[in-house]
Structure 1
Amino acid sequence: MSLINEQEQQLLTEAIQRVEGQTNAELVTVLARQADDYRYIPLLWASLLALLLPGAVNYYPAWLNPHQLILSQWALFIGLALLFQIPALQYRLIPRQVRFWRASNLARRQFLEQNLHHTKGETGILIFVSEAERYVEILVDRGISAKIPDAYWQAIVKQFTAQVRSGNTAKGFVECIEACGVELKRQLPATSEKNELPNHLVIL
């Protein structure tokens, strides 16, 4: 099931077309459900707890023999591994730095996979959202970064992130596209009609 319905996707496409009609920049929007499945992290927590807890409980007095201790560790590992697969609980086990690191890596891969580094004049701009991580990033090619400082994008990202956290991802996308267009029109006004990259939302 799509995170954004077809009507909302059409609004995004129209917003991109409006901005690209007034600037030489090439905008691409990407929406990911999540940047990673993080299966290894619940297993890591289950392994760690299963290794330490039975031994700590059994330290003094020792009421389990070595065979029983090993069985209890295995049972606890299996139980915790299954419990930690619950999405709401799994998400709480993942450090914020890990979530953002994975989302940031995915954003950079998408910049390359969507060919934003091959545009004429190096004017590609990626607006990336990973919804599970509540992560937003704007990546621009050298033709844009030479004219517009990073601080401009950071302010837009902050506002967009708040919309994603509130569940207004589609509205946030449109507002973000329009906010990017304000400075893009001023610094990189359209000099010719072109459309090198798709205008539709890419959903991963």
Structure 2
Amino acid sequence: MLNDQDTQRVKAAVRAAETRTRGELYCVIAEESSDYRETPFLWAGLTALAAPAILLLGGVEVSVPDAFAPWTAAQAGAAAEMAVRGALTATLVLQAVLFILVGAVGSIGPVRRFMTPRSVKLDRTRRHAQELFLARNLHQTRERTGVLIFVSLAEHAAELIADEGIAAVVDQKRWDDAMATLVAEAKAGRPAEGLAAAVTQVGDILAEHFPADPTDNPNELPDAVIQIPRL
């Protein structure tokens, strides 16, 4: 997360950018966008379902009585039932062990995040950003020119959400370079540098389409950098 010096650096970048545009920039940095509590259970369940295959690969199989041996029907039935019961018991025990083991290991934070597919993490980051955009009232600026720059550290992901006034004019792909810079710096352990650089790049784009009005350019959103700790 950011210390006081980092926070001031990003706030200064926001103020500088907003002097050149009618757009309103808002920065949020989160340690994590989701706890992914369901991930260990999903992997534990899938691993448990693989127990029969694991037993077969391990050489465990259900044997039936030899048809040519002097078995009575009752003896053959009892032997077959015992073999099936033994195989089922071994399968159930292995499934329980695998479920508990994988679930316990997967509950460890870094392991849980590693086990979560990248697509899921990106989706959670996007949803978190959308929720923040509405919760922080970025959609209520006078010209609908609010812009949220959001970075989620654990996911190594960033999102930019522009209100409809900007989205109608600026193609979403124009923000790609700024977001790539932000993600690269965050991965390198420099989130403040990434945010400041992204703010400057976004400010340049906004200045092209929404230049500042020297006579009427109110600061409608706070310049503070919001930090959200791990869930």
Q: TM-score, normalised by structure 1?
A: 0.90
User: Equivalent residues in 2 for 1:1-204 (5 A)?
Assistant: 3-53=1-51, 55-59=52-56, 60-62=60-62, 64-191=86-213, 192-204=216-228
Aligned residues: 201
User: 2: CA distance between counterparts of 1:139 and 1:126?
Assistant: 5
User: 2: CA distance between counterparts of 1:158 and 1:80?
Assistant: 34
Match of 2:66 in 1: none
Q: CA deviation at 1:146?
A: 3.1
Identity %: 32
Q: CA deviation at 1:181?
A: 1.2
3-state SS of the aligned residue for 2:102?
helix
User: Which amino acid is the alignment partner of residue 42 of structure 2?
Assistant: L
User: 1: CA distance between counterparts of 2:174 and 2:226?
Assistant: 24
Q: CA deviation at 1:73?
A: 1.8
Q: CA deviation at 1:68?
A: 4.1
Q: Tell me if structure 1 keeps the 8 A contact 2:31–2:154.
A: yes
Q: Tell me if structure 1 keeps the 8 A contact 2:149–2:158.
A: yes
User: 2: CA distance between counterparts of 1:4 and 1:178?
Assistant: 18
110-119 or 140-149, larger mean C-alpha shift: 140-149
User: In structure 2, do the counterparts of structure 1 residues 196 and 68 end up closer, same or farther at CA, with 3 Å as the change threshold?
Assistant: same
User: Which amino acid is the alignment partner of residue 75 of structure 1?
Assistant: V
Q: CA RMSD in A?
A: 1.7
3-state SS of the aligned residue for 2:50?
helix
Q: CA deviation at 1:65?
A: 4.2
Q: Tell me if structure 1 keeps the 8 A contact 2:61–2:87.
A: no
Deviations 1:135-170 (A, max 9, x none): 111111122223322222112112222112222111
